[in-house]
Amino acid sequence: MDRIASLGRVGLDVVATVGRAGRFLAGVLTGVSRPSVGFPLLVRQLYSVGVLSLAIVVVSGLFIGMVLGLQGYTILSDYGSEAAIGQMIALTLVRELGPVVTALLFAGRAGSALTAEIGLMKATEQLSSMEMMGVDPLRRVIAPRLWAGFIAMPILAAIFSVVGIWGGMLVGVEWLGVFEGSFWGNMQSSVSFTQDVLNGVIKTVVFGFVFSWIAVFQGYDCVPTSAGISSATTKTVVYSSLAVLGLDFVLTAVMFGDF
């Protein structure tokens, strides 16, 4: 009986958390702050969330592109079609790896930082004191961070894909000697803008939104102690990684699956 009761308690907790997250999101989105105040805040967050994540995204993109180039060459040269390496790299990056790996890196780099920062602001009563000063922290603190994550994610993913394709070209064309014309030609004839590039962008937009939501909510909802902040940070990384991978499957099935 105790087990059933505890299962029920867990279920209620989950439902309550989802409800809180939804109300929290509604609070953030409905609170529109004056552009003159909101814009500089957004820029500052875009800088710390987006620009500072650029290095890790570029470096990982380069290496992943180079690995794809090497692996693709080894496999495709068995069939004598190493010229198809361009389309393989481009499709892999634009459709899958670009959005997913960027989201995972972003969750580790920026998501944990967002959660920890907001959690610490909560623990040191900064959010509370803002409320007492008649300033809504959802608007002032949370909203710029949510939007910054939402905007930065597609940008980072696009940069990741481009750097990855360049890395793949570096290995395939410069090193392994695939003819450059067929590298780009094959790529261009098989990658479709609406089907592949735009769907990839839609994925990143969805990931960016879900990920930022999880990160700021975990920070805002955390238990304001050092143990609470550390567990919230862990939860951000775990939940957003799982959410990204799960959503990726769903989105891929909807976009590319032929039913």
Partner 1 sequence: MAQRTTEIVTGLFIIAGLAALMFLALQVSGLSPKSDADTYTLYANFNDVGGITPRGKVAMAGVTVGSVKSVTLDRDTFQARVELTIDANVDNIPADSSAVIRTSGLLGEQYIDISIGGDMDSLNAGDTFYSTQSAMNLERLITNFASGK
Partner 2 sequence: MDSGAYITLRDVVFSRSGRRIFDGVSLDIPRGKITAIMGPSGTGKTTLLRLIGGQLRPDSGSIVVAGESVPQLKRKALYTLREKMGMLFQSGALFTDLSVFENVAFPLRVHTALPEDMIRDIVLMKLEAVGLRGARRLMPAELSGGMTRRVALARSIALDPELIMYDEPFAGQDPIAMGVLVKLIRDLNLSMGLTSVLVSHDVPESLSICHYACIVADGQIIGEGTPEELRQHPSERVQQFLNGHPDGPVPFHYPADDAGVDWGLGGGSA
- Contact footprint for partner 1 (CB under 8 A): 40, 43-44, 46-47, 50-51, 54, 79, 81, 84, 90, 94, 151-152, 154-156, 158-159, 161-162, 165, 184, 187-193, 195-197, 200-201
What's the closest the beta carbon of residue 232 comes to partner 2, in angstroms?
18
Binding partner at 94 among partner 2, partner 1, none, C-beta below 5 to 8 Å by kind: partner 1
The residue among 184 and 209 lying less far from partner 1, judged by its C-beta, is 184
Binding partner at 129 among partner 1, partner 2, none, C-beta below 5 to 8 Å by kind: partner 2
Between CA 35 and CA 172 the distance in angstroms is: 48
Binding partner at 197 among partner 1, partner 2, none, C-beta below 5 to 8 Å by kind: partner 1
Tally of CA atoms within 13 A in the half-sphere of 249 that contains its CB: 5
Binding partner at 70 among partner 2, partner 1, none, C-beta below 5 to 8 Å by kind: none
3-state secondary structure of 137: helix
The residue among 80 and 132 lying less far from partner 2, judged by its C-beta, is 132
Residue 160 · residue 57 · CB < 8 Å: yes
The residue among 33 and 190 lying less far from partner 2, judged by its C-beta, is 33
- Give long-range contacts, CB 8 A cutoff, 24+ apart: 248-256: 248/96, 248/99, 248/100, 248/203, 248/207, 251/199, 251/202, 251/203, 251/206, 252/95, 252/96, 255/195, 255/199, 255/202, 255/203, 256/95, 256/195, 256/199
124 binds partner 2 per the rule CB under 8 A: yes
3-state secondary structure of 60: helix
Query: x/- binding map, residues 4-43, to partner 2, per CB under 8 A?
Result: ---------------------------------x------
- Name the residues that contact partner 2, by CB under 8 A: 37, 120-121, 124-126, 128-129, 131-136, 140
